[in-house]
Structure 1
Amino acid sequence: MDSETAAERIFAAIRAIPRGEVAGYGEVARRAGLPGRARLVARLLGQNEDARLPWHRVLRSDGRIAFPEGSKGWREQSQRLRAEGVKVENGRVRGQRAAPSVDEQIWGPGD
């Protein structure tokens, strides 16, 4: 798969995260059919110039914002998530697990 196709799939997976929900970098990669490519997701988000992309819904796997605490990006991501009703405390999303995958939506959570 070429890098342009991978980027398109990753951006489509990010756009599919519903308002008020979040997903980790690794989960986004998995949903895009690129398991193990969390760093690619992070790199593409760092290069993103599409203001409509809901980049703020993508977090670290532990639910934390990846920007340095107190930075402009950290504040903006916190504000955007809170505006969607997501509870953010000290840069970490609380009381919410990542949005379920399609398999989990159909078959329920794995054991």
Structure 2
Amino acid sequence: MGGSEAAEDFTEAVLRVVEAIPPGRVLTYGLIAEQIGRGGPRQVGGVMARDGHGVPWWRVVRADGSLPAHLVLDAQREWQREGTPVTRGRVDVPQAVVPPDVGAL
């Protein structure tokens, strides 16, 4: 598999995982990389920055429950609409993270 094919496959894998995150729940960049079995948080973040506009991007957060500042206001509206547990403007990751045994992921 060539480099561009591998990158495209990785992008598709990341976006599939994000699409499967249920409303009101989240995964971290690192957990998505673990689930896919390659890459890391930065690579997942790169996919989300380039190609994540068509998926529920607000369901992917940093390990501390935050997002980049330019995304926070829009994300907070979505978190409130979906009932995502939030404390002090950040997602409560231990409470909101999708359990690893969720069949759709």
> Structure 2-normalised TM-score?
0.80
What does residue 41 of structure 1 align with? 44
Larger helix proportion, structure 1 or 2?
A: 2
Superimposed CA distance per residue, residues 40-73 of structure 1 (whole angstroms, 9 cap, x where no aligned partner): 110111112643x01100011122x2212xx4x1
Alignment check: 8 A CA contact 1:12 1:32 kept = no
Residue type of the alignment partner of 1:99: V
Percent identity, please: 31
What does residue 100 of structure 1 align with? 99
Give the aligned length: 98
Map of 1:53-92 to 2, 5 A cutoff?
Answer: 53-63=55-65, 65-68=66-69, 71=70, 73-92=71-90
> Structure 1-normalised TM-score?
0.76
Q: Unaligned 5+ residue runs, structure 1?
A: 107-111
Superimposed CA distance per residue, residues 23-55 of structure 1 (whole angstroms, 9 cap, x where no aligned partner): 100011112222x5111110111112643x011
For residues 51 and 77 of structure 2, the distance between their equivalents in structure 1, rounded to whole angstroms, comes to 19
1:8 aligns with 2:12: yes
The root-mean-square deviation of aligned C-alpha atoms, in Å, is: 2.0
How far apart are 1:91 and its partner, in Å?
2.4
Q: Which has the higher contact order (CA 8 A, sep 6+)?
A: 2
Which residue of 24, 31, 38 corresponds with 2:35?
A: 31
Alignment check: 8 A CA contact 2:76 2:89 kept = yes
For residues 88 and 10 of structure 2, the distance between their equivalents in structure 1, rounded to whole angstroms, comes to 33
